Amino acid sequence: MTAVLKFFEKLIVFALVGMMALVVALATIELGWIIVKDIIEPPIFLLDINELLDIFGLFLLVLVGIELLDTIKTYLAKRELHTEVVLLVAMIAVARKVIILDEAKLSAPMLLGIAAIIVALGISYYLLKLSHTNSARTDES
C-alpha cells in the first residue's frame, strides 16, 4: 500500500512540475509578446508608466513561477520543503502586488495590512537566516 501511495505522490509531483513548466514557459512568451507589442506601438521605443508597471508585474510573476518550480523540483529530489524558498516566493508575490497596486483605490487599513505582511515576511526571513547561521556555527564546533 505504501508503494502505491509513493508512486501516486511521485506521479502527482511530476504532473505539477510539467504543468508549472508549461505555465512558466507560456508566461515568458506572453511577457516577450507584450514587450515587443508595447515597443513597436507609437510612440516607438517609449513606454508609459502603466505599461512599465504591467511589464514589471509580469516579470515578477514569471520569477514566482520559477521559484515555485524550483520548490517542487527540490521536493521531488529530496522529499523536503525548503522554508526559505517558500518565504522568497511569498516575498516576490507581495512585491509584485505592491508594484502593480493602485494605492488611490485602497483604504488605509488595507495598506497597513499589506505593510504588516511585508514586515512579517521580512522578519521571518531574517529569523530563518539567523537560525541557519547559528546552526552552521554549532555544527562547526
For the stretch 40-78, pLDDT in tens is 888 888 888 888 888 988 888 898 889 888 888 877 777
Q: How far apart are CA 42 and CA 81, in angstroms?
A: 47
Q: What is the pLDDT of residue 118?
A: 92
Local structure of residue 44 (DSSP, 8 states): T
Overall domain count for the chain: 1
pTM, rounded to two decimals = 0.70
pLDDT (tens digit, 9 = 90+) per residue, 1-46? 889 998 998 898 889 889 999 999 999 999 999 999 988 888 888 8
- Residues spanned by the domain of 71: 2-140
Q: What is the pLDDT of residue 141?
A: 63
> According to DSSP H, which parts of 2-107 are helical?
2-40, 49-78, 83-100
